[in-house]
């Protein structure tokens, strides 16, 4: 399947217009499930990006031990503290509280994975959440690694049985683990790899890297924005929060037509890359940090 960049007009189809009488409910509620001891920053970056996306409400669902740190760093978000184990990671029994919160607070979309670790307790929590959270879901980072470690057919069946779609955002090493092929094969066959993931797991697959690819199983697009300034830890966490936030707005507002997951993923990739490009111009590729990407998102929106 041929891949080419989407035009700005096509990208704007995924952008939710603002009306004078709007309230925060129009723009959706994003649930960011992230973090662990030593990885609070991943949750902070994803939650901050979800807020910068324009989402009406963001909740950072994090292990108890890092909740205070996350709440202080992202005061515009709500914080949901979930049970953690002595290693500081999510415990499986915390999933029921997460599910109840998502239902009671009418969450619109969720993201899971940044900084959650692959500790066995966290892995069981992730599997409960991916299979049982009744929301459109962005799956990234350690959540992808947890899925990659399971039996392939079982994961595919679980994902396709979900009542709501997923968007998967692996970098090449994560894609290689998921597809169970060498990383050089992913890098030399990027289009084939991203389309295979979209086909095998359903939903939308986004293969990060230079000229990020987005595939839905029906169409594949190439993102032309972004440079070496994005090659920093935490950049993917920003993309995850941004994508979840854009998707929540499309869902809650009813103002976007068509494949909302694909349109939100393509728009997120373009905005994320453009924020990186703008940051590089002022800070140089050496000086850009992942936290800067969040701060340059408003300028990226303006460029669209």
Interval 65-88: pLDDT, tens: 999 999 999 999 999 999 999 999
The C-alpha angle with vertex 301 and arms to 235 and 28, in degrees rounded to 5, equals 80
pLDDT at 1 over 60: no
What values do phi and psi take at 54, rounded to 5? 105, 5
pLDDT at position 102 over 90: yes
Task: Identify any residues that bridge with 207 across adjacent strands, giving them in sequence order.
Answer: 213
Q: Is residue 259 part of a domain?
A: yes
CATH number at residue 67: 3.40.1190.20
Asked if residue 180 is part of any domain, the answer here is yes
- Specify the pTM: 0.98
Non-local (6+) Cβ contacts of 129 within 8 A are: 33, 95, 98, 112, 143
DSSP 8-state secondary structure symbol assigned to residue 229: G
Element (H, E) at 205: strand 204-207
The reply to whether 14 falls in a domain is no
CA atoms of 255 and 164, how far apart (whole Å): 19
279 inside domain: yes
CA–CA separation, 10 and 72 (whole Å): 38
Residue 81 in domain: yes
- How many domains does the chain contain in total? 1
The answer to whether position 1 is within a domain reads no
Instruction: Look at the alpha carbons of 101, 136, 28, 45 in this order and tell me if their dihedral is positive or negative.
Output: positive
Average pLDDT, the chain: 97
Is pLDDT above 80 for 100?
yes
Give pLDDT tens digits for 238-256: 999 999 999 999 999 999 9
Cross-strand partners of 138: 111, 167
For residue 11, being part of any structural domain is answered with: no
Neighbour-count burial of 104, counting CB atoms closer than 10 A to its CB (0-12 exposed, 13-18 middle, 19+ buried)? exposed
Phi, psi of 94 (to 5 degrees): -75, -10
What do you get for the CA distance between the two ends of the chain, in Å?
A: 27
Q: State pLDDT tens for residues 114-151.
A: 999 999 999 999 999 999 999 999 999 999 999 999 99
Domain coverage including residue 264: 23-303
- CA dist., res. 30 & res. 120, Å (int): 26
pLDDT at 200 over 60: yes
Determine the average pLDDT of the residues in 204-230: 97
Confidence of residue 3 (pLDDT cuts 50, 70, 90): confident
What distance in Å separates the CA atoms of residue 266 and residue 215, rounded to the nearest whole number? 9
* pLDDT score, position 253: 98
């Amino acid at each position: 399947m041929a891949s080419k960049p989407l035009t700005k007009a096509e990208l704007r189809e995924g952008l939710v217009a603002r009306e004078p009488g709007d309230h925060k409910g129009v723009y959706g509620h994003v649930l960011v499930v992230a973090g662990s001891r030593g990885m609070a920053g991943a949750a902070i970056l994803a939650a901050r990006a979800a807020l910068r996306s324009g989402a009406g409400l963001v909740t950072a669902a994090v292990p108890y031990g890092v909740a205070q740190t996350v709440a202080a760093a992202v005061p515009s978000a709500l914080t949901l503290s979930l049970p953690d184990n002595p290693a500081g990671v999510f415990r499986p029994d915390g999933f029921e509280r997460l599910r109840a919160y998502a239902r009671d607070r009418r969450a619109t979309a969720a993201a899971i994975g940044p900084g959650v670790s692959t500790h066995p307790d966290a892995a069981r929590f992730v599997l409960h959440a991916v299979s049982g959270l009744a929301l459109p879901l962005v799956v990234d980072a350690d959540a992808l690694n947890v899925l990659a470690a399971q039996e392939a057919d079982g994961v595919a069946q679980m994902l396709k049985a979900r009542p709501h779609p997923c968007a998967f955002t692996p970098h090449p090493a994560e894609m290689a683990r998921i597809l169970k092929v060498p990383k050089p094969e992913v890098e030399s066959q990027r289009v084939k790899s991203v389309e295979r993931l979209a086909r095998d797991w359903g939903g939308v697959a986004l293969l990060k890297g230079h000229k990020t690819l987005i595939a839905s199983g029906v169409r594949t697009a190439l993102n032309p924005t972004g440079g070496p300034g994005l090659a920093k830890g935490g950049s993917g966490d920003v993309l995850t929060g941004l994508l979840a936030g854009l998707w929540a707005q499309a869902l809650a507002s009813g103002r976007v037509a068509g494949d909302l997951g694909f349109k939100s993923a393509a728009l997120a990739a373009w905005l994320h890359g453009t924020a990186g490009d703008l940051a590089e111009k002022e800070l140089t590729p050496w000086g850009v940090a992942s936290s800067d990407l969040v701060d340059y998102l408003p300028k990226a929106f303006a460029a669209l």
